Amino acid sequence: MTTLTLSATSTATAAQPSRNLLRDIRIVMARELKPVLRDPFSLLFGMIQPLVFLALFGPLLSGSMGGAFGDGVWQWFVPSILVMTTLFGTSTTGANLLSEFQTGAHERMLVTPLSRSSLLIGRALKEMVPLFGQAVVVIAVMTPFAFDLHLGGALIGLALLAVFGVGLGSFSYALAIAVRKQDWMFWVVQQTFLFPLMILSGMLLPLETGPGWMRAASKFNPLSYVVDAERTLFSGDVLSSAALWGWAAAIVTAALGLTVGIRAMLRSAD
């Protein structure tokens, strides 16, 4: 047991690092990614879901629209699926934090010297990783079919999606913190927001043929701008006004989400 005592004294002196936010964020992010990397099968499973949607919904879409899309259905629908994956993945991610509230893991981290904001930012940034993985799989699978890949636009599209996802993930964490004492509320609120947001974005079915009030409502939905932007970006049109609006929506969502999330995190010990 002499080794134990030895390194104990050496750690006591080493444990006085200068703290910086970036290091803390990196630590939190690495911790969040560990279970994903240790269990790649779960990641694989997450990647199958969007493919199933593509395979089962895509053909229906082109059929029911009376062939209005022609061959362009995948050009229209693949960006949708990527946004949908982001939406589902990041809006549910607060549940992970809820379980850390229940077990005590979150409390333990609050007593460590990690900064409170890093606990939120690190988690939110981690959302980009599985998202990127899923996107690559979807694009790789779809490219041999009638999907036309414009690499530059696609990469910019994914970057935009990542920014949006960080914001949405932050909101999800903020929700988890807000309802941590009645955790069933999490799913009620999440579902209440999820479906209107999704349908009013024109993600699954085009809104152009919908009633006027729906089109009006979609103007207030940040997700609509992201969906439109993804479609133009994936068709290679990098500098369209739709793309710029998409960036604006993503950046505003991320800024708001991070602000709300960090504020919630600061109060999460009570």
How many positions of this chain bind other proteins (CB under 8 A)? 38
Site for other proteins in 60-99 (CB under 8 A): 96, 99
Distance between CA atoms of residues 236 and 148, nearest Å: 9
| 19 lines the binding site for other proteins (CB under 8 A) | yes
Select the span of 73-81, 106-114, 140-148, 226-234 touching other proteins (CB under 8 A): 106-114
> What are the DSSP calls for 64-125, one per residue?
HTTTSSGGGHHHHHHHHHHHHHHHHHHHTTHHHHHHHHHHSHHHHHHHSSS-HHHHHHHHHH
Distance between CA atoms of residues 30 and 15, nearest Å: 20
| 105 lines the binding site for other proteins (CB under 8 A) | yes
Distance between CA atoms of residues 237 and 210, nearest Å: 26
Distance between CA atoms of residues 42 and 29, nearest Å: 18
CB 180 within 8 A of CB 268: yes
Residue among 64 and 99 whose Cβ is closer to other proteins: 99
| 21 lines the binding site for other proteins (CB under 8 A) | no
CB 67 within 8 A of CB 157: no
| 114 lines the binding site for other proteins (CB under 8 A) | yes
| 107 lines the binding site for other proteins (CB under 8 A) | yes
| 17 lines the binding site for other proteins (CB under 8 A) | yes
Select the span of 10-18, 165-173, 185-193, 211-219 touching other proteins (CB under 8 A): 10-18
| 239 lines the binding site for other proteins (CB under 8 A) | no
Task: By CB under 8 A, name the binding residues for other proteins.
Answer: 1, 3-5, 7-12, 14-17, 19, 27, 30-31, 34-35, 38, 96, 99-100, 102-105, 107-114, 269-270
